[in-house]
Every structure is written in structure tokens, then in C-alpha cells.
Amino acid sequence: MKIIYFGDIVGKSGRVAVLNSLDEIRARHAPDMLIANGENAAHGFGITEKICKEFFEAGIDVIVTGNHAWDQREIVGYIEREPRLLRPNNYPKLTPGSGSVIAETKSGKRVLVIQVMGRLFMEPLDDPFASVESALYNHRLGASVDAIFVDIHAEATSEKTAMGVHLDGRVSMVVGSHSHIPTADARVLPGGTAYQTDAGMCGDYNSVIGMKKEAAVGRFIRKIPGDKLEPAEGEATVCAIVVETDDATGLAKSCQPLRMGGGLIATL
């Protein structure tokens, strides 16, 4: 089975780039499942029901979020009705929505998708490691599910790496999100879990992590309130990760980064 995960989609340029890339990606990789991080899709902050539906209609199977999950207040009611839209699993139990879902491919294979959020340099939440263990409690690769994908939305590379090492051999893939910069460490860990510290963003890289440069730089060089951050609107680079799993074990056979268009060097 092939699973493709798109890193944080930022603003309109990111949305357009992802949607426009899908036909080529399908022709080149023939993915069984598409997962995307949409927490910055609505003008850089949060996601809306309309955008979710646009992604689902285009063939995205599951959308994960992160610390910007609630920036668009309308999403609170929608996330309670739409199990394919996730928020971090380690939010408090009374938080609307869910942090995991089992999604099925067209061929009937079952993929458990889990998202957690890190705690280092982030808002205080429940333990992400314990939260993943809870989500995994009733599932095992090659038995109840055919593949398991874990997104860790976190600031610290150490916390993301620790999650990958902790879950190695028990899940198909662990991929980090949030920093908007693709890391160069995509690989299959010794136990058979695909891993990348951060998938990067789907957005305009002629920016400061997806935001227009002037306002973002101003926040660093002036200690006064500045202009509101706005997403950059130039051509976006699509950043994703492609993982192929073994049908018998659910573990990863291969793991490769995918970059298309925009300002970053494309993958072959």
C-alpha cells in the first residue's frame, strides 16, 4: 500500500498547489491513501468546512490539524460531525472532535490515522506518548489494521524524533509537522517504521514559513505591535512524503520525500 502525507497547507497558494498536483501525483505514485495537514489552509490560520469539503471531494482521505485547529470558530461544530477531520488526540477529553480515525482505502484496507501534539515549546497538553499508546491499545499492524500513520505536530525536533524511535516497529509511519520546513532525514527506521522529522509545508517559500516577509521580519526587528501576518501568495511548493508499506506486516518498505513546484529543489 502507498500512503502520501502532505505537510502543512498554508493559505490559498498552498491549497491550489496541492489540488493541482493530485493528478500528477496519482499518475506517478498510484497512492492508496492521501492524508494532509490543513491547519493553516484558511488564509494561514485554521481551516473551514468549505475547504475541508473541497479537499475531500478532490480525494484527500483524512485531514489533520494542530495548534491552529480552532482559529476558525465555525470548525467546532463541523469537526464533531466529520470523523475524517482530526485534532490532536492529547487535547482534553471534552474537546470536540477526535484525534484518531480508521479510514478505508478503495480496496478495503484499513488505515489507523493518529495525531498528537508535542509539549516542548508548545501549549501544555496531556502526554503525547501516553496518548498514542491509548489510541494504539486495541490495534495491531497486520491484524486489526493494515497500516498505522502517526502525525506529531511539534516544535522540537528531539520530541518528534523520540516519538519515531518510541513507535518504531509498531506503526507504519511517523511524520512531524508544524515547523513548515522539510527536513532531510526521511528514512525507514531499524524496526520498519518510516520517519521524517518534518514534512515541510505546502506553501510559498518566498516567505517566512508561509507568511509575507515584511510583517514577519518586522516582528523580529521591532518590539512594537506590527502588521497582521498574512500568507504569502506566490507559487507554492508541494511538500509531502511517500511511504510504501508491506501488505503482510504493515511496516514500511520505502520512504521518500516529495517536492513539486515553487521555490524548492524538486525531487525526481
CA distance readout (Å), 229 to 119, 178, 211 = 24, 17, 6
Backbone angles phi, psi at 248, to 5 degrees: -80, -40
Q: For the chain of 268 residues, list the mean pLDDT of each consecutive stretch of 10.
A: 98 98 97 98 97 98 97 96 98 96 97 98 95 96 96 98 98 98 98 98 96 90 84 96 97 98 91
Strand intervals (E) in the chain: 2-6, 8-9, 33-37, 62-64, 100-104, 110-117, 147-153, 173-177, 187-188, 194-196, 201-202, 238-245, 252-260
Contact 36, 6 (CB under 8 A): yes
Closest residue by Cα to residue 148 from 207, 190, 194 = 194
What backbone torsions phi and psi does residue 266 show, to the nearest 5 degrees? -75, 150
Q: How far lies 52's CA from each of 40, 62, 103, 166, in Å?
A: 12, 9, 16, 31
The CATH architecture of the domain made up of 2-260 is 4-Layer Sandwich (3.60)
* pLDDT value for 146: 98
Cβ 259 vs Cβ 252: under 8 Å: no
> pTM of the entire structure?
0.96
Whether 178 is catalytic = no
Alpha carbons 182 and 46: distance in angstroms, whole number? 20
Q: Which of 29, 43, 68, 180 is catalytic?
A: 68
Q: Residue 268 has what pLDDT?
A: 67
Do residues 127 and 165 make contact, with C-beta atoms less than 8 angstroms apart? no
Distance of CA 28 to the CA centre of its chain: 21
CA dist list (Å): 73 to 20, 116, 167, 194 = 28, 21, 33, 34
The answer to whether residues 80 and 96 touch, using CB atoms and an 8 Å cutoff, is yes
Helical pair 128-136 and 157-167, crossing angle rounded to 10 deg: 30
Q: Mention every residue, 6+ apart, whose C-beta is less than 8 A from residue 165.
A: 189
Q: What is the pLDDT, as a whole number, of residue 87? A: 98
In sequence order, which residues have a C-beta less than 8 Å from that of residue 223 and are 6 or more positions away?
Answer: none
Give the separation between CA 179 and CA 197, rounded to whole angstroms: 10
Separation CA 79–CA 98 (nearest Å): 8
Look at residue 222 in the predicted model and tell me its pLDDT.
87
